[in-house]
Structure 1
Amino acid sequence: MSHHQIKRGVSLYSYQEEYFLRTMSLEDCIREAAGIGAYGIETIGEQMMPGFPDLSEDFYKQWHEWMAQYGTTPTAHDLFLDTQLYPGRYLTESECLASIRRDIDHAAKLGATVIRVIVSTPPEILAASASYARDHDVKLLVEVHAPFHMDHPWIQRHLDQIRRVDSEYLGLMPDMGMYVQRIPRVMRDRAVRNGASEFFADWVCRQYEQRPGREALTLPTEVKYMGGGPADIAFASAAPHMVFTEPRRLLEVMDYCHHIQAKFYEMTTDDDGNDVEYSIPYADIVDVLIEGGYRGYLSSEYEGNRHIQDAFEVDSVDQVRRQHRMFTRLLGESA
């Protein structure tokens, strides 16, 4: 195994089901992540910090006590820029900048060094926030989230601005949803429970594997012409929102990548008894990250819950644990 400086972490978004049902508290989520050696903690203020963004100093004091108690490190805060916050108009540039600065202040108070900038954020607004980010020692990383990918014109616009500003405080946060080789099985099965036929569910999955990306845009029309019903068409319409691109493309932008959202939908077991992700080729991805000298966190982001919660009990804790068993193996760590 090659030497590397890749670290493991968890976006607490992964535990959203348990947090929503009140079977896990914010502290429980932190404790669970630390228990599996995933010491990097990524957070969403709106989701698990009641009162955000107006949090008390007592909250931040408690937060740092938890970090010390569990040996964890705040990694990233996930920013949302609601440009349509007010009915009938978009936020002005100054309002956008004020919103981002508010999130930078929050991240700095948490001790996080990274902010996930949602992909819809205008590149010019991100660039204009660089100096404030530098002053607070927080990196602003635009999330490259499917169906966007590294060669998408919108991401290229962001890269143009990042290169123009030439600041170490601007960069990219690749979301591993860019590398969905096959439609997640949990999504396919949910579509069938929603009324899609087995025939069309399997047909859409096969077509996606043969032509992911833009070529999948016609799948809904094709299913309609073939006689598919509303549930069949709905499933076909979901396919173009996923994408598979070549993981080695990361090598060309690795210098801009300082945090990774390790999205996954379903951990399963391969023929050798290893934990693997059903849809995303993590072995290939981790090899590329090691080759490229990536030094940040792999931050788990479990999104399978929404596809099974109608019929099965969600166990996000087990799913995240299994992903980290996979990471432990792929990174050459001792179990």
Structure 2
Amino acid sequence: MSKIQRGVSLYSFQEEMFLGQMSVEDCVAYAASIGAKGIEILPEQNMPTFPDISDAEVERWKEMMERHGTHFTCYDMFLDTKLRKGELLSDEEQVASIERDLRLCHRFGIKNMRILIFVRPDILEKCVPLAEELDIHMGVEVHAPWHLEHAWILRTIDVADRLKTKHLGILPDMGIFMKHYPPAFRARFERQGARPEITQFIVDQHEQKIMCEYTIYEVAVKMGGNKAEIAMAETLRHAPYANPKRLKDYAPYFRHIQAKFYEMNEDCTDPSLAYEDVIPELVKCGWEGTLSSEYEGNRWIQDVMEVDSREQVRRQHVMFDRLIAKAEAELENA
């Protein structure tokens, strides 16, 4: 039996929360109702008084988790490297900011902290002693256009290996497994004036995994692409397809996954991201952690229809259940 758990990042409900249609507790309650018991929080977005969080506020959150039968899975930190009219934070100030987040993460009893990808490995190295003391895993988000074997990511893994620490590693974002170009992206660009024959060319190029810069050049220079067409071609820079089979090699370095998605079909399949390839690999290697929904499709459809993040998240969890059960059965019968 797989030990993969299901959860939701509160970021998934950004549209409804921004419009005042859902409160934080509404989001937690909905996640619980579909069996997604793990809650990933973004304190800077979800807590108005951040970073000054009182003990009473911490207890209110913990009571809310208990009330809905949910639990915290991950704390998403942010690091503003520029303050005071563009002045850069010193290394010491960056370390202090991350250590502040580690301490707040610990107060909530959370064991995983998402680190933004641009945080330097040497900065994180200085934070490892406190992470070890508080027993918190710092996972650098592997976000497109980076990928599991990108040199920048390997630098963080090298630091973790050198320190022999289990408290520094990575945190994959499933956007790195874009097998097919998202239909929602294409439709939005066509509404903005991209011609169907050009958008089809871009989709075909992505399907063949042609280097994105070649496609951008073809569209912008050789095909005389308009603004929408060039913008669509440029999204290919953030549309990598990493090899799911390499997940087993990196599984020891991550405990949490941001299960990004842009749209779910009515039959609860993802038209773009390769979950049908990723989840079997996670099951086969015995990975233990949480698949945490991260819906980001709202921005691609909000110009033509009302966003329903709840239904999109629900469909993704139906898919998770189906794919995990199938992978378990195949492993058992192998």
Alignment TM-score > 0.5, same fold: yes
Tell me the SS of whatever aligns to 2:231. Answer: helix
Matched residue, 2:281:
288
Mapping of 1:67-146 within 5 angstroms?
A: 67-146=65-144
Aligned to 1:236: 233
**1:87 Cα deviation (Å)?**
2.8
Helix, strand or coil for the counterpart of 2:39? strand
Q: Name 2:304's counterpart in structure 1.
A: 311
Using the TM superposition, give the Cα deviation of residue 238 of structure 1 relative to its aligned residue in structure 2, in angstroms.
1.2
Distance 1:246 1:91 in 2: 36
Question: Residue type of the partner of 2:226?
Answer: G
Q: Which of 11, 22, 41 is the matching residue for 2:39? A: 41
> Is it true that 1:209 corresponds to 2:221 in the alignment?
no
Q: Where has structure 1 moved over 4 Å in runs of 4 or more?
A: none
Paired position in structure 1 for 2:261? 264
- Structure 1 SS opposite 2:94: helix
Q: What per-residue deviation string (whole Å, max 9, x for no partner) do you get for residues 128-166 of structure 1?
A: 111111111211000101100011111111111111111
Match of 2:271 among 275, 278, 298: 278
| Matched position secondary structure for 2:63 | helix
Percent identity of equivalent pairs:
44
* 1:246 aligns to 2:265 (yes or no): no
1:218 alignment partner, SS class:
helix
How far the C-alpha of 1:115 sits from its partner, in A, is 0.3
Count of aligned positions:
325
Cα separation, 2, equivalents of 1:59 and 1:198:
52
> Which sections of structure 1, spanning at least 5 residues, go unmatched?
none
The one-letter amino acid paired with 1:182 is H
Separation in 1, partners of 2:79, 2:228: 32
The CA deviation at 1:183 is: 1.4
Give the CA deviation at 1:89: 3.0
Report the 3-state secondary structure (helix = DSSP H, G, I; strand = E; otherwise coil) of the residue aligned with 1:253: helix
Distance 1:22 1:80 in 2: 23
Moved more, 245-254 or 47-56: 47-56
Q: CA deviation at 1:54?
A: 1.3
| Secondary structure at the counterpart of residue 269 of structure 2 | strand
Query: What is the one-letter code of the residue matched to 2:215?
Result: L
Where does residue 330 of structure 2 map in the other structure? Answer: none
| Cα distance, 1:220 vs structure 2 | 2.0
Structure 2: distance between partners of 1:8 and 1:301: 12
Q: Which residue of structure 1 lines up, in the alignment, with residue 15 of structure 2?
A: 17
**Alpha-carbon distance between aligned partners in 1 of 2:288 and 2:84, rounded to the nearest angstrom:** 40
C-alpha displacement at 1:69, in angstroms?
0.6
Write the distance in 1 (CA, Å) between the matches of 2:205 and 2:217.
13
Deviation at 1:203, TM superposition (A): 1.0
- The alpha-carbon distance between structure 1 residues 85 and 217, as it changes in their structure 2 partners (threshold 3 A), is farther
1:3-59 Cα deviation digits (max 9, x unpaired): 211000000100110111111001111111111111100011111211211122221
- Residue type matched to 1:227 in 2? G
- Distance between the aligned counterparts of 1:230 and 1:255, measured in 2? 43
Q: CA deviation at 1:227?
A: 1.3
Which structure 2 segments of 5+ residues have no match?
327-334
1:325 to 295, 318, 324: 318
